Structure 1
């Protein structure tokens, strides 16, 4: 079936006359169009369709004739379609919108254009009874599916716990998800347009990154463990997978990186290794203390005998030096013995604030501390805990003494690292834990030393000024209380030690 269609274009107008140019369109012309096309009257009756529409709905052209166009529209979209159709018919203005067809019982999304025209060229513009409409429809189901996939991916990317980043081919960041912001400490605005080397910890050699770039530039997936640095300077560890992004033409357009944050896992591994090392050292210390202690006692006795009988002043000075070094060794051995065996101290109801205040009073007496301001902030609601107060005081003193040493550069001239040296001690709690923090604004701990400070015999002090056992002893005491010690330090700015004790140690008395 074929019908001839006339349309007219307004080429000029004045108050009295409208001049139109009329043209003739054969309906079979629309069969060459790739999109579906229909001719529909003002009552939604289909007068004609092209081959694309026939194939889409699996209906012959004759089956379409006089079929109500609304029956092709998905039910929930019909009201919107009618509104747009009536606007096109009444106002003579093209309407473009998205809708949905139902073909073979399946919903198909389409882009629709309704374009009105006249069947009778002599009809007055105000009369609609002879107005027909072209309806052009393009199947956008695949596009919609891609958009839906994109929405799904966007939601996965935004809400996953794994840090994600996307870069262009030059390695500049074009997207990061909220998890990446949390892990890195940077905001999205700070990262867009930057190179990922902003996180560099300088822990990997150049060859490591060269291998990564060679792999992904070949269109291959690269997997490795990386150590990055947060905005606040702390290290964070991730398993990183980088995949090239390839477009439909096989062209490389960027890279997609997904991280699995394993910082906490690394901390637990380091704590386990440290605990095992401490256990081994404890066993060694027990034997060492016995083997060294006996001959040392003999040497000490001989020195004292010689001192009593010797009249030479020079010899006595040297003997006194030997005696002081023996006392130093003896102290180290006592510390080793104390922490290589189970404590014999009895657990007692302990007021944390009282013990800390007492430790601070002792630390104040030090000559080095005379120019230091001590700031104390106590939470009055700290519960009484069931532990060993003497040992806890020793922990506080060890940390306070280290803080004083970090502030005092020259005790003889009373020279301090900063013009306003201070030590701030605080206690606070949450639902399950008690926190004691001791902060100084001293010289700080170098990054190279931060992982070693709880090792026995490790010290950054001058020879003779420290045994390197204070923090090791403190670590073991707090560990015996089922707690932990955390340290946060910036070289040149200061150090904060935080002692965390579980509230399940509350006294039952």
Structure 2
């Protein structure tokens, strides 16, 4: 390992001895966390500044160190690193073993959600090994993620939107100006198609950032559903999916923003269709079921919309990530990974809740909205 490269690398990195003593840090590491090198180098235990979030490598047994490989996907771990001001930063850390010096190099890659935590720790106590890490709740972490992506989305969406409109307009002019049969027309069509796909992603991002406010009123949920399903009906028919939606002619009222609820229904119905079509058994029953029921939470009455599909279900290990921004199980180019995140945010803004469960070969999404103000 070139120590000159180590020192001047833009990636925060440090060197550990077999005792887990923090032997050396580079300038990027020092700057990232606000400590001077002298404050960090010589810390008796790496774990005093680093908390592993989920899985944790076995660094306490030096005999296992030669098996650590930075190229091994299992050697990358999510961690929280203590900063000088007592906050923490989220990073992904990878390890590489130096057989000549018998040392471990740790390389850090910043998380998208770094620097967002308002929780502060006593950095002096933790450095000395006397402090405790406070563990935020899952709901708090989810809230931080949503706020982070909201901020990111607003900036990205506006930066993309203006030049994108120019690309789409000129692509339409080129497409319409070329005679049918000319191969250039095909290429212009591809540009137009892909530009419109980017436009849809931008719309999702703008919806996510809640730039437009719509006043909540009492609406008939079946009317909102029917107007939404009408946009997708032909797709369900083409996919030979049976739709079961009893009592559509009976109004059922709840407090919501019709436009936002329409977006939620659209996302849930699209996901249900994709899930049903992705079932590995071509002979399984393709059924979408939508119905409503009244429930009570505490002292308030709610109206629940149930959207049920007979898709393959959601693997248990992936369920906790379902509402995470940009998480998707769909093939590349088919989904943005923002649909459920947007829906979750919209329902919460309307005073409701979005949840799901998998049971007996079906997946059910629940949209709970207050029955009255």
Question: What TM-score, normalized to structure 2?
Answer: 0.56
Task: Show the 5 A alignment for 1:152-301.
Answer: 269-301=137-169
| Separation in 2, partners of 1:493, 1:321 | 39
1:422 and 2:276 matched: no
Task: Show the 5 A alignment for 1:336-355.
Answer: 336-355=205-224
Cα 1:358–1:309 change in 2 (3 A) is: closer
- 1:465 pairs, out of 334, 356, 359, with 334
1:330 and 2:195 matched: no
| Separation in 1, partners of 2:318, 2:163 | 34
**In structure 1, the residue corresponding to 2:318 is in which secondary structure?**
coil
Task: Show the 5 A alignment for 1:359-378.
Answer: 359-367=228-236, 370-378=239-247
The list of structure 1 runs, each at least 4 consecutive aligned residues, that deviate by more than 4 angstroms after superposition, is: 308-312, 367-370, 377-383, 415-418
| Separation in 2, partners of 1:380, 1:302 | 46
1:371 CA drift (Å): 2.1
Gaps of 5+ in 1: 1-202, 208-265
| Separation in 2, partners of 1:466, 1:280 | 20
| Separation in 2, partners of 1:429, 1:279 | 31
Cα 1:308–1:419 change in 2 (3 A) is: closer
Give the length in aligned residue pairs: 239
1:321 CA drift (Å): 0.3
Q: Is the 8 A contact 2:244 2:289 kept in 1?
A: yes
- Max radius of gyration: which structure? 1
Q: Is the 8 A contact 1:363 1:369 kept in 2?
A: no
Structure-1 residue corresponding to 2:346: 477
Structure-2 residue corresponding to 1:307: 175
Question: What TM-score, normalized to structure 1?
Answer: 0.42
Structure with more strand by fraction: 1
Q: Is the 8 A contact 2:204 2:339 kept in 1?
A: no
**Larger CA deviation: 453-462 vs 378-387:** 378-387
| Separation in 2, partners of 1:288, 1:314 | 33
**In structure 2, the residue corresponding to 1:349 is in which secondary structure?**
strand
| Separation in 1, partners of 2:281, 2:263 | 25
1:332 CA drift (Å): 0.9
| Separation in 2, partners of 1:388, 1:288 | 26
1:486 and 2:351 matched: no
**Greater relative CO, 1 or 2 (CA 8 Å, sep 6+):** 2
1:388 and 2:257 matched: yes
Q: Is the 8 A contact 2:225 2:262 kept in 1?
A: yes
| Separation in 1, partners of 2:275, 2:137 | 29
| Separation in 1, partners of 2:172, 2:231 | 31
**In structure 2, the residue corresponding to 1:430 is in which secondary structure?**
strand
Gaps of 5+ in 2: 1-53, 59-134
Structure-2 residue corresponding to 1:199: none
Cα 1:368–1:375 change in 2 (3 A) is: closer
Cα 1:285–1:322 change in 2 (3 A) is: same
1:499 and 2:364 matched: no
| Separation in 2, partners of 1:394, 1:333 | 14
